[in-house]
Amino acid sequence: MENLSVLEKLHNSFDDKLLDSIKIISNCADTFGIRAFIIGGVVRDLLLEKPIYDIDIVVEGNAINFCRYGEENNFFQICRISEEFGTVKIRLKNNLEIDIASTRIEKYPTSGCLPVIEKLGCTLEEDIKRRDFTVNTLALCLNSKNFGTLIDLTGGITDINKKELKILHDKSFIDDPTRIIRALRFKYKLNFNLEKHTQKLCDDYLKNFNNNPICYERIKQVTKLAFSLNSAKLFDEFVFKNIYKLVSTSIRKCSGTKIFEAISTFLPKDNLSNLWLIYLACLINTQDAQKLNLNTKEMQIIVALENLLTQNPNFQNNFEIYNFFKQSPIESIICYISLTNSTAAKCYLTKLKNIKTDLNAKALIQLGYTEGKLIGYTLEKLLEAKLNKKNFSKNDEIQLAKKILLDF
Ligand code: ATP
């Protein structure tokens, strides 16, 4: 790949603010005397001419010392330092915030668990070895002498051209099984395939996986990113290729297409934050979900679905349907529809959920009610009538409310 075309891509993909920022970092790196690179998925996306919102920069050495120098010499400000990881968030004068990392060597003392940093401030070559797929190892020089030169130590460019995801060594998935879910996400996000040997190692890992200790916090993060793609095919592969074993011991039978359709039909577009969890909740039970460190709202979605599924309702009218679903989060009901195709649940979400009585407590008081339990009882009766009877008007509500008061 020619430098010129990479530079052209850089100018096409980065807005002026980002370009200005990397030139300032480049200047700072030149004067400090350290090699600086844009690295990882950003470079992959740059070559693929995908939009770029965020960049990762690595300096070959200690990023904290480099950033302190940059701040003292007025190149940028430091926002936050993580001493443990040797990373720094900086803010440039144009207000853009960028993460600068130190090169590092990581080791996995226990397979599947978090890596530990063996050395902070190693060579670029050593840093690249800790990464997941060849297409994610590319580095783009920022120093003025080689500005825009691509460094490809693993054949990443060839693999981008072949649209293949290839791990760097045979123990990669054993070290870090979250890479299996990352691979699945990249497969569908980038439209790539797993290279043959990588696919075999992935299949072998999952075949032999038997609830080995793994870091569920990271599993949750990567699963969230993967399911957020809202891809039916990705979900089906998660199930059929046994990737689900990383999150759950057993699963319910369900289809990605059904979930996708239920989401498209019933999930409001301004409520997408838990979209990923609809895919997960369809699959796993409460017990397995507990391992995943879900927050309270997320856990509620799983528990409410399980409650719905354990009952066997036989609805006589709309009011019963309403009462059956009214406590459940919409995400749980969408899962329920995906799994059972329930017409009652569909009716609840499209019609019943939004039905409200015309009268409220204040209106009842105007009709002669005094504050107390009777108001709650009457409002419930009005709602029941409104849900069960066709064209139950405001006037009908007033008549019913008066009758209840009279009978009382
Ligand atoms: P995307 O922008 O789609 O998230 P990305 O490749 O930038 O893709 P990040 O999670 O931001 O993904 O990771 C940045 C880089 O860090 C990756 O490109 C890869 O080089 C490295 N990396 C991230 N996670 C892992 C991992 N589990 N194992 C090894 N390297 C990883």
Is residue 295 predicted with pLDDT exceeding 70?
Answer: yes
Is residue 146 predicted with pLDDT exceeding 70?
Answer: yes
Ligand 1 pocket, residue 136 CB under 6 Å: yes
Q: Which atom of ligand 1 is nearest to the CA of 185?
A: 3
Separation between Cα atoms, residue 149 and residue 38, nearest integer Å: 10
The residue-averaged pLDDT of 137-147 equals 97
136 CA to centre of ligand 1 in angstroms:
7
Chain CA centroid to CA 322, Å? 31
Is residue 1 predicted with pLDDT exceeding 80?
Answer: no
Structural contact between residues 140 and 71, judged by C-beta atoms closer than 8 angstroms: no
Protein residue with its CA nearest to atom 15 in ligand 1: 40
Separation between Cα atoms, residue 257 and residue 236, nearest integer Å: 8
Query: What backbone torsions phi and psi does residue 339 show, to the nearest 5 degrees?
Result: -90, -30
Structural contact between residues 402 and 367, judged by C-beta atoms closer than 8 angstroms: yes
Separation between Cα atoms, residue 215 and residue 178, nearest integer Å: 8
Residue 51's pLDDT band (cuts 50, 70, 90): confident
Q: In this structure, which amino acid lies at residue 240? A: F
Q: In this structure, which amino acid lies at residue 255? A: S
Separation between Cα atoms, residue 62 and residue 65, nearest integer Å: 6
Separation between Cα atoms, residue 236 and residue 247, nearest integer Å: 15
Chain CA centroid to CA 363, Å? 46
The residue-averaged pLDDT of 174-185 equals 97
Separation between Cα atoms, residue 40 and residue 128, nearest integer Å: 9
Is residue 212 predicted with pLDDT exceeding 90?
Answer: no
Protein residue with its CA nearest to atom 9 in ligand 1: 41
Specify the pTM: 0.94
Separation between Cα atoms, residue 54 and residue 51, nearest integer Å: 10
Structural contact between residues 19 and 161, judged by C-beta atoms closer than 8 angstroms: no
Structural contact between residues 173 and 205, judged by C-beta atoms closer than 8 angstroms: yes
Beta-carbon contacts of 157 under 8 Å, excluding residues fewer than 6 positions away, are 1, 47, 138, 150
pLDDT given at position 408? 81
Protein residue with its CA nearest to atom 24 in ligand 1: 132
| Residue of 46, 87, 126, 132 with the most ligand 1 atoms within 8 Å of its CB, for mutation | 132
Is residue 18 predicted with pLDDT exceeding 70?
Answer: yes
Longest dimension (CA), the chain: 92
Separation between Cα atoms, residue 136 and residue 190, nearest integer Å: 12
Is residue 2 predicted with pLDDT exceeding 70?
Answer: no
Please write the tens of the pLDDT for every residue from 77-120: 999 999 999 999 999 999 999 999 999 999 999 888 889 999 99
Residues comprising the chain, all counted: 408
Residue 202's pLDDT band (cuts 50, 70, 90): very high
CB atoms inside a 10 Å sphere around CB 387: 19
Place of tokens 């096409």: 12
Give alpha helix (H) positions in 124-215: 124-128, 156-162, 172-175, 178-190, 196-208
Is residue 286 predicted with pLDDT exceeding 80?
Answer: yes
| Residue of 53, 57, 124, 136 with the most ligand 1 atoms within 8 Å of its CB, for mutation | 136
Residue 248's pLDDT band (cuts 50, 70, 90): very high
Q: CA nearest 282: which of 311, 246, 315, 257?
A: 257
Please write the tens of the pLDDT for every residue from 357-376: 999 999 999 999 998 899 99
258 CA to centre of ligand 1 in angstroms:
30
Place of tokens 């999150």: 247
Structural contact between residues 271 and 202, judged by C-beta atoms closer than 8 angstroms: no
Q: CA nearest 353: which of 323, 382, 332, 380?
A: 323
Beta-carbon contacts of 120 under 8 Å, excluding residues fewer than 6 positions away, are 62, 86, 102, 103, 104
pLDDT given at position 53? 82
41 CA to centre of ligand 1 in angstroms:
6
Q: In this structure, which amino acid lies at residue 355? A: I
The single-letter DSSP state of residue 335 is H
